[in-house]
A and B are shown apart, each in its own frame.
Chain A
Amino acid sequence: MPIQRRAFVAALGTAAVASTAGCSSLGGDDSGAGVAGETLTLTTTTSTYDTGLLDEIHADFEDMYGVSVDAVAQGTGAALESARNGDADVVMVHARGLEDEFLRNGYGVNRRDLMFNDFVIVGPESDPAGIQGMSSATEALTTIADAGASFVSRGDNSGTHTKELNLWDAAGIDPGGDWYQETGSGMGEALNIATQQGAYTLSDRGTFISQRSEIDLTVLVQGPIEGGPEILANPYGVMAVNPGVHDGVNYDLAMAYIGWITSPGVQESISEYRVDGEQLFFPRAVSEDPDFQQYVPEGWSGDSNDE
């Protein structure tokens, strides 16, 4: 379990972030007022929203700061685009590659690792391509492609779609043909379409669990949470929109939010959130070993100012 009892240093650091962010007068802001009564706009991926997690935890934040949170579920690509346009104050997504691009371009600041779950390859019980129990995701996809078995792709520039494309890439396959269908829809719809067509698809575990009763699919290749390959990990990050790029964003409140959601108490709430008795998200913000890399694009080097 990522939460350690002795995560003392990290907790101190988090509290410092939260207290600085909560006190806007320290930020050199000319308003000088607190954040009460204001609204935080959070754009996020459908998976955090559709699983009910945000509804579960946001009331606490709203009570604590006397603010309201407008959570807009858009999918990772659209969530970042809204943030890029300055229409969001804080963004919570799961595609490190796209987050890095966002950071590199100066739109995002103060990225924090938030939580993770994993992806699973799901399909019909009959498993026409025979991938059940494979320990390699790329091998499973190669087998599906070789068998020409139906595969449903989100095709919507979401975090899951991005991961799927990375997996095909890793398998050395350029998917296409009658067996490969891009639906351009959310995870829930993709699961429904896969059910209807007896197809395989890649799903985040959270959405799959929260919708399991509605669909007729089974997990055939597990992700790292159940001992599957690390390539199927699904880490979520949270970032504030850079107030230097967009005047209109509520940076103080965004930082209060980031401080709050990465705090030990809320991280505990995230780990306690259950659907159907199963844990959907595993907290990652509180750790004994601070990871500088989480704040910056991967591969960033302090020596180079212009990376």
Chain B
Amino acid sequence: MSVSLAAIPQLAPALLDLPFRDGYVWSVIYVSLYVSVTAVALSTLVSVPVAVAIGFADFPGKGFVKSVVNTGMGFPSVVVGLVVLFAVSNQGPLGSLNLVFTREAMIMSQFVLATPPITAITLAAVDGVDRGVRDAARALGGTRIDAALVVLKEARYGIATAVLAGFGRAVSEVGSVLIVGGNITGADGVSKTRTLTTAIQLEARQGQYETAMILGAVLVALVLTVNAVVVHFGDGGVNA
């Protein structure tokens, strides 16, 4: 948080104009990041091994599996929100966990949304690695795991792109987090399940378009920052 505070001076006049109580905007940014980063991290842990497994395996119907994954990239987020709501609702199969209107439910829906793009783009990156690299690793006495690690190392820039695509989908998404999260702040004005996108939706609903624009600018700045950081590390890795 202290790092991003340094970027305030330009935004400060606008932010100070916000009709918000102390800490509101920061808590909204925090919730946005917390939910999206957690979802994307979990999604990456699942997607990358799955993508490598699919990429390495040869089986009938592989093309079909790929097209299913690609289709998932365009899956409507509000439908994901509805499905997750049914799952976590008191009536649903996970009802006993009391997850409705919580960040955990938001993470679940963003996980579902981020997994297809991360898997698909990672898969494309893994496929794009020259088959000779894999064969060479095996020929030099490496196990399948060694070969996979070599391929992953070659494909890391593509994987970084995949993670970014997943993050972009998660953090900019409004429909499902609104449905499963409920857009809640506490009475102290600190966000519980309000993200930048749902805050923008709320401000627009109230006709506070200026405030919505400022929050929109914050969201865009956030996405650009995360992209810059990941691209930086991705490039550094390739050139090191």
**A residues neighboring B (CB under 8 Å):** 41, 46, 50, 54-55, 58-59, 61-62, 68-74, 85-87, 185-186, 188-189, 191-192, 211, 214-215, 246, 248-249
Contact = CB atoms under 8 A, between A and B. Distances in A.
30 contacts: A46-B205, A55-B187, A55-B189, A58-B187, A62-B186, A62-B187, A69-B186, A69-B187, A70-B182, A70-B184, A70-B192, A70-B193, A72-B101, A72-B182, A73-B183, A85-B89, A86-B90, A86-B91, A86-B95, A87-B101, A185-B205, A186-B205, A188-B207, A189-B204, A192-B207, A214-B207, A214-B208, A248-B96, A248-B98, A249-B90
A73 B199 CA distance: 12
Nearest to B96: A248
A87 B96 CA distance: 11
Interface of B: 89-91, 95-96, 98, 100-101, 182-189, 192-193, 202, 204-208
Nearest to A193: B207
Contact of B89 (A74, A86, A211): A86
Nearest to B97: A248
Contacts of A71: 184
B90 A87 contact: yes
Given A86-B91, A87-B89, A87-B101, A72 B184 contact: yes
Contacts of B101: 41, 70, 72, 87
A248 B206 contact: no
B232 to A, nearest CB: 38
Contact of B206 (A41, A50, A70, A249): A50
Given A55-B185, A69-B187, A72-B101, 7 more contacts: A59-B187, A59-B188, A62-B188, A71-B184, A86-B89, A188-B207, A214-B207
Contacts of B90: 85-87, 246, 248-249
Contacts of B192: 70
Nearest first, the 9 A-B pairs at minimum CB distance are: A86-B90, A58-B187, A72-B182, A59-B187, A214-B207, A188-B206, A186-B205, A87-B100, A70-B184
B195 to A, nearest CB: 14
Contacts of A62: 186-188
Contacts of A55: 185, 187, 189
A188 B205 contact: yes
Contacts of B100: 87
A75 to B, nearest CB: 10
A87 to B, nearest CB: 5
Give the interface SS of chain B, mostly helix, strand, loop or mixed. loop
Considering residues A87, A192, A215, which has the most beta carbons from chain B within 10 angstroms of its beta carbon?
A: A87
A62 B192 CA distance: 15
A85 B206 contact: no
A50 B101 CA distance: 19
A71 B183 CA distance: 9
Nearest to B203: A188
B213 to A, nearest CB: 14
A248 B99 CA distance: 11
A249 B185 CA distance: 20
Considering residues B193, B204, B205, which has the most beta carbons from chain A within 10 angstroms of its beta carbon?
A: B205
Nearest to B182: A72
A13 B186 CA distance: 30
A239 B36 CA distance: 35
B106 to A, nearest CB: 13
B223 to A, nearest CB: 25
B207 A248 contact: no
Given A72-B101, A85-B91, A246-B90, A211 B207 contact: yes
A189 B208 CA distance: 10
Contacts of A50: 205-206
Contacts of B187: 54-55, 58-59, 61-62, 68-69
B69 to A, nearest CB: 32
Contacts of B89: 85-87
Nearest to B91: A85
Given A85-B90, A87-B89, A72 B207 contact: no
Considering residues A61, A71, A191, which has the most beta carbons from chain B within 10 angstroms of its beta carbon?
A: A71
Contacts of A86: 89-91, 95
A192 B89 CA distance: 33
B204 to A, nearest CB: 7
B188 to A, nearest CB: 7
A211 B211 CA distance: 14
A58 B186 CA distance: 9
A61 B204 CA distance: 29
B126 to A, nearest CB: 41
A59 B187 CA distance: 5
